[in-house]
Amino acid sequence: MLLDASQSQLVLVDYQARLMPAIFEAEAVVENAVRLGRMARLLEVPVWGTEENPSKLGENLADIRALCQRTLAKMHFSAAEEGLGEWLRAPAKAPQGNARSLPKHLQKAAAAEERNTIVIAGCEAHVCLLQTALDLLEDEFEVWVVTDACSSRTERNRDAAFDRLAGAGAELVTTEMVGFEWLRTAEHPRFDEVLALIR
């Protein structure tokens, strides 16, 4: 099973100004998160952000925040507890036709384009990322965790989160895997632009 850009959404969890200095390998993690966001924007994948208790931890880093079409401020560790799932679900389209063309009981709402594959990365991996990802799995989303764009204050906590997420059914991937799977071919019209971000 490969990622499909047309079915994907990207969620960037809590890359906050006051949190990142304490994060293990923070510089590389942020670089990969920015790469993910830029690839997503090039390939028309929606990008969402979350911020845990921003009055205490600050907003997401400016480069991350600029890539997100919306950012959810939250107090729960799981963003799904505060409405992220509703953002990720496509709204139903209005019924097609008009009242004169079909009886009301025959009018059906058109199915909206579903993007049920959630590519997720963030901090801290063993708290907000983990709880959000587990709740999204429970809400029947496919969850793909980008390991090289995630971290915690300690390597041990980060790795424990990856073990638990894999056991719960999340796919563990890297930034490059996401980019090349979203592209699928060197003939993709955005190939050179995405490749420039990866190199």
Q: Give pLDDT tens digits for 163-185.
A: 999 999 999 999 999 999 999 99
Does residue 81 register a pLDDT over 50? yes
8 and 150 in contact (C-beta within 8 Å)? no
88, two tokens: 């990720």
The one-character DSSP state at 121 is: E
Q: What is the mean pLDDT of residues 131-140?
A: 97
Q: What is the pLDDT of residue 92?
A: 55
Q: What is the pLDDT of residue 185?
A: 96
pTM of the shown model: 0.89
Does residue 53 register a pLDDT over 70? yes
CA distance linking residue 171 with residue 160, whole number of Å: 15
For residue 120, give the nearest of 70, 74, 172 by alpha carbon.
172
Pairwise pLDDT comparison (183 vs 106), residue with the higher score: 183
Q: What is the pLDDT of residue 90?
A: 74
- β-sheet bridge partners, residue 171: 144
Cα distances (Å, whole numbers) of residue 181 to 74, 151, 176, 199: 31, 23, 8, 16
Q: What is the mean pLDDT of residues 146-164?
A: 98
Q: Is the peptide bond before 155 cis (omega within 30 degrees of 0)?
A: no
For residue 124, give the nearest of 1, 46, 18 by alpha carbon.
18
Residue positions counted in the chain: 199
Q: What is the pLDDT of residue 186?
A: 95
Buried b (16+ CB within 10 A) or exposed e, 59-85: bbbeebbebbeebbebebbbbbebebb
Q: What is the pLDDT of residue 105?
A: 53
Domains of the chain with bracketed CATH:
5-90+113-198 (3.40.50.850)
